[in-house]
Chain A
Amino acid sequence: GQNIDQPTEMTATEGAIVQINCTYQTSGFNGLFWYQQHAGEAPTFLSYNVLDGLEEKGRFSSFLSRSKGYSYLLLKELQMKDSASYLCAVRGTTNFGNEKLTFGTGTRLTIIP
């Protein structure tokens, strides 16, 4: 099966940096996604990692270590609009050989002035 853990809530200050961690256990790992979801809205894609290392995209970066089953999302120069839930999702293989995308329960990030 697949299991994903990420902190439930985090708080950070405007202009600062925050790191949201995600650990996972899965069979047939084939990629990790980060999504952002504002309250009452649909999730939107932020990043995708399939190889070890850091992927940078503007103020957001995502890191993956497959051997450790670990990823983090790094948000720099935080803005008030970054207050949202951040979802970690892992693509793996089910017991029946199908592919499945499993989401964590999300980390609710609150930015304070």
Chain B
Amino acid sequence: KAGVTQTPRYLIKTRGQQVTLSCSPISGHRSVSWYQQTPGQGLQFLFEYFSETQRNKGNFPGRFSGRQFSNSRSEMNVSTLELGDSALYLCASNPTGINTEAFFGQGTRLTVV
């Protein structure tokens, strides 16, 4: 059974640009959550999608958005990138929601220069 797949693994962008990250959950899992991980702040919840609808949302500005497709694959978009957006972005897949065990992907390491 394939795990959670995130692409790309590494990304370098310039301030002001936008970026789209992709996450393919484990087959059969309908919930996808996104997290930002930085050394100082740890893992911070961005949002959760379930059946193509955003079901839960963290405290991030509107520059961070996402969507989920009918096959449960999810994308996260960050517009007008800032240096502080440099982080590891992790996607987690759950069978039904964040109240169950989460399976994490390897993450996308985003560097904003």
Find out whether the CB atom of A98 lies under 8 angstroms from the CB atom of B43.
no
What string of 1s and 0s marks CB contacts (under 8 Å) between A76-105 and chain B? 000000000001010100101011111111
What string of 1s and 0s marks CB contacts (under 8 Å) between A34-66 and chain B? 010000011111001000000000000000000
Find out whether the CB atom of A30 lies under 8 angstroms from the CB atom of B106.
no
Find out whether the CB atom of A91 lies under 8 angstroms from the CB atom of B35.
no
Known: A98-B56, A103-B44. Is A91-B106 also a contact (CB below 8 A)?
no
Find out whether the CB atom of A42 lies under 8 angstroms from the CB atom of B45.
no
Q: Does B63 contact A (CB under 8 A)?
A: no
Give the shortest distance, in Å, between A108 (CB) and chain B (any CB).
11
Task: Kindly list chain B residues whose C-beta atoms are within 8 Å of the C-beta of A104.
Answer: 42
CA distance A45 to B92 in the complex (A): 11
CA distance A106 to B37 in the complex (A): 11
Count of B residues near A, CB < 8 Å? Answer: 25
Task: Kindly list chain A residues whose C-beta atoms are within 8 Å of the C-beta of B48.
Answer: 99
Give the shortest distance, in Å, between B92 (CB) and chain A (any CB).
8
Task: Kindly list chain A residues whose C-beta atoms are within 8 Å of the C-beta of B44.
Answer: 103
Q: Which of B11-19, B69-77, B97-105 interfaces with chain A? A: B97-105
Find out whether the CB atom of B33 lies under 8 angstroms from the CB atom of A101.
yes
Find out whether the CB atom of A100 lies under 8 angstroms from the CB atom of B45.
yes
Can you name the residue of chain A whose Cβ is closest to the Cβ of B38?
A105
Give the shortest distance, in Å, between B74 (CB) and chain A (any CB).
16
> CB within 8 Å of B: which residues of A?
30-31, 33, 35, 41-45, 48, 87, 89, 91, 94, 96, 98-106
User: What are the 4 A-B residue pairs with the smallest beta carbon separation, nearest first?
Assistant: A105-B42, A103-B43, A42-B104, A98-B56
